[in-house]
Amino acid sequence: MKLNKFLDFIMMHKFYGTEVRPKKIDIASAKEPSLSFLDCFVTLFLAMTFLMVVSAQDALAKVRVVTSVPDFASIAGDVGGDKVEVVSLAKGYQDPHFVDAKPSYVLLLNKSDLLIYTGLDLEIGWLPVLVTGSRNSKISSAASQGNLDASTLVSNILEVPITKIDRSMGDLHPGGNPHYMLDPRNGIPVARGIADRLKEIDPENAPYYDERLKDFVGRLIAKIKEWDEKLAPYKGTEIVTYHKSWVYFSEWAGFKEVGYIEPKPGIPPSPSYVADLIKRMNQLNVKLVIAESYYPQKTPALVAEKASASFLTLPSSVDGREGIKTYFELFDVIVGDVTSKLEGMTKSFNSTNQEGG
Ligand SMILES: [Zn+2]
């Protein structure tokens, strides 16, 4: 619309084409040169300035949200609709514990009205330095209106240590397990908390955020019911995961985690540890070994093979695999991949038994 008006404006002044530089001036067209080059330049300059001011006002009107990881970006975008501009710093295919602190992130944070992050020290290796560098008082401290630690919204944080764990000891989860977004039920309080914060920052649009939150929660509850039904036949499934990032998922799905490829979150396994793990898995009935794509795939694949289990590479975040653009799509993929793998194993087990019997 604005662009059309601008083009009309230019057309009106015959700025482009041969009209702008009449080759011969005769008496009949004596008025034409009155639109001099300077006139054209000035009118164009004014038009451009007008456009820039208008688009700057448009941008100002939106709440600028920056999230550490894409799950929050998906939810904030869903709840905030066209009143927000959302960008995630980390990509879903990156290990959220280790992200490159790029200078461009400082710029994004400098212009942000709201920063949403996981907390529980998940981003401690890269986010605080960026926030300090951004010199943005709106997001600078945990008490700032534009600073939202999403872990404060979740009531069932798992593995909170009783004694203080020092991160220098190698454990990446010193404040409790930070991978709580892998239980879709936690999407509900997180969405509520995001809506509350958007309403504080942009009270004028509070009814809009309320409406969108209601819609989001309704859709998520319906999807959770659908995923629950798909997972129900596999309750009690014994699994091993690479990193301790699936504990919330397992609690929700009713899976039993019997071991981890990493002896401690962030510590790579030694050959003797791997041998012990395989031995233990063979005594149990481990069906699946799960790892995210950003972990080495060779060891979990080998462990699965030696323990007669299946190896499954799963995305653990929105954007963790091509095509996963929303929090809903993330669980569609996770639940879909897990259940089809387990269903395939049950089928092959049954057919082997029938052939044998
Ligand atoms: Zn972790």
pLDDT tens digits, 25-74 = 343 444 444 445 556 555 555 666 555 554 555 545 899 999 999 999 99
Query: Which 3-state string (H, E, C) describes the chain?
Result: CHHHHHHHHHHHCCCCCHHHCCCCCCCCCCCHHHCCHHHHHHHHHHHHHHHHHHHHHHHHHCEEEEECCHHHHHHHHHHHHHHEEEEECCCCCCCCCCCCCCHHHHHHHHCCCEEEECCCCCCCCCHHHHHHHHCCCCCCCCCCCCEEEHHHHCCCCCCCCCCCCCHHHCCCCECECCCHHHCHHHHHHHHHHHHHHHHHHCHHHHHHHHHHHHHHHHHHHHHHHHHHHHHHHHCCCEEEECCCCCHHHHHHHCCEEEEECCCECCECCCHHHHHHHHHHHHHCCEEEEEECCCCCCHHHHHHHHHCCCEEEECCCCCCCCCCCCCHHHHHHHHHHHHHHHHHHHHHHHHHHHHHHC
Q: What is the mean pLDDT of the chain?
A: 86
pLDDT in tens, 159-173: 998 876 666 666 789
Q: What is the pLDDT of residues 139-161, one digit of tens each?
A: 999 999 999 999 999 999 999 98
Query: Distance, CA 176 to ligand 1 centroid (Å)?
Result: 10
How sure is the predictor about 346, in pLDDT bands with cuts at 50, 70 and 90?
confident
Structure confidence at residue 250 (pLDDT): 98
Higher pLDDT, 36 or 126: 126
Q: Does CATH place domain 60-227 in 3.40.50.720?
A: no
Query: If pLDDT is split at 50, 70 and 90, which confidence band does 344 have?
Result: confident
Distance 256 CA to ligand 1 centre (A): 18
Share of the chain above pLDDT 70, in %: 78
Cα 140 to ligand 1 centroid, rounded to whole Å: 24
**Confidence grade of residue 348 (pLDDT, cut at 50, 70, 90):** low
Q: What is the pLDDT of residue 355?
A: 52
Ligand 1 center from residue 165 Cα (angstroms): 14
Distance 333 CA to ligand 1 centre (A): 21
| pLDDT at residue 136, rounded to an integer | 98
Query: 310 pLDDT exceeds 60?
Result: yes
Q: How far is the CA of 294 from the centre of ligand 1 (A)?
A: 12
Rounded to the nearest angstrom, the distance between the alpha carbon of 311 and the centre of ligand 1 is 20
Distance 160 CA to ligand 1 centre (A): 13
Distance in Å, CA 245 to ligand 1 centroid: 5
Return the CATH number of the domain spanning residue range 232-356: 3.40.50.1980
**d(CA 172, ligand 1 centre) in Å:** 6
Residue 15: pLDDT band with limits 50, 70, 90: very low
Residue 8 pLDDT greater than 50, yes or no: no
Between 18 and 111, the more confident residue is 111
- State the pLDDT at residue 31: 44
Segment 107-117 shows an average pLDDT of: 98
Over 50: is that where the pLDDT of 18 sits? no
Average of per-residue pLDDT across 235-247: 97
Distance from residue 28's CA to the centre of ligand 1 (Å): 79
Expressed in angstroms and rounded, the spacing between residue 174 Cα and the centre of ligand 1 is 10
Mean pLDDT of 283-290: 95
Dist CA 344 CA 341 (whole Å):
5
Asked if pLDDT for residue 329 goes beyond 60, the answer is: yes
Residue 240 Cα to ligand 1 midpoint, Å, equals 15
User: How many A from CA of 224 to the centre of ligand 1?
Assistant: 24
**228 C-alpha to ligand 1 centroid (Å):** 25
**How far, in Å, from the CA of 121 to the mean position of ligand 1?**
9
Rounded CA separation 278/256 (Å): 16
Q: Which pLDDT score, from 0 to 100, does residue 345 have?
A: 84
